[in-house]
């Protein structure tokens, strides 16, 4: 039976598109059942309309505080009864209430080889640090910043003349297939989390 996948996104939703396409083609045994977005003008909402799936917009400014916002997010998420939540360019830190409600059922992709360069502007951090290898990481979401168990990683070279933009573009090319592989493994019930280690697919893929 296909897994029900809920997408969280804030912007273009290119990773969301890759996941949806993989579900449509049958590469992933899943179905995107909805989108939760925190910006009324985000391009991902146009994608959701094209896919024919419902989208819910929940903006922080409409709530008195973070607790109220987090409660609204959780209520919306639970209304979809998802098996899996995929953060696809979702630019907010998930509330602990959501993480506890869906333990090891929320995936995120981060444009760095974690645990290096957590947080925002990871590509800029990599360029400024002078590293020779960067990449992307798909991981389960934990209660700390980009600290959940790592599912898969893909490395890309960093060239001497790289900027944040050129490195970002090179990493993005690898993000879509890496995320799809991780979602496929989850939907195939292949992943096992023991303490902080994920088994069931290669820890590092080139």
Residues known to be catalytic: 110
Among residues 72, 16, 79, 77, which one has the least CA distance to residue 44?
16
Indicate the DSSP class of residue 118: -
Report how far apart, in Å, the C-alpha atoms of 178 and of each of 68, 73, 194 are: 34, 26, 21
Packing angle, helices 122-129 and 164-187, rounded to 10: 120
Q: In angstroms, rounded to a whole number, what is the distance separating the alpha carbons of residues 82 and 98?
A: 12
Q: How far apart are alpha carbons 70 and 143 in whole angstroms?
A: 14
Burial (CB < 10 A; 0-12, 13-18, 19+), residue 195, is: exposed
């Amino acid at each position: 039976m296909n897994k029900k996948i809920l997408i969280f996104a804030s912007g273009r939703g290119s990773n969301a598109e890759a996941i949806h396409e993989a579900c449509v083609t049958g590469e992933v045994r899943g179905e995107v059942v909805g989108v939760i977005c925190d910006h009324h003008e985000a391009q991902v909402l146009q994608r959701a309309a094209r896919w024919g799936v419902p989208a819910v917009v929940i903006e922080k400014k409409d709530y008195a505080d973070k607790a109220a916002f987090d409660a609204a997010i959780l209520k919306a998420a639970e209304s979809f009864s998802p098996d899996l939540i995929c953060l696809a360019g979702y630019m907010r830190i998930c509330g602990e209430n959501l993480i506890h409600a869906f333990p090891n059922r929320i995936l995120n992709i981060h444009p760095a080889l974690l645990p290096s360069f957590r947080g925002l502007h990871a590509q800029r951090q990599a360029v400024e640090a002078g590293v020779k290898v960067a990449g992307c990481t798909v991981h389960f979401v934990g209660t700390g910043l980009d600290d959940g168990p790592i599912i898969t990683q893909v490395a890309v070279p960093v060239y001497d003349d790289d900027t944040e933009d050129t490195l970002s573009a090179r990493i993005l090319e690898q993000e879509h297939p890496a995320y799809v592989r991780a979602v496929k493994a989850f939907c195939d019930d292949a992943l096992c989390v023991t303490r902080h280690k994920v088994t069931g697919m290669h820890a590092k893929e080139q």
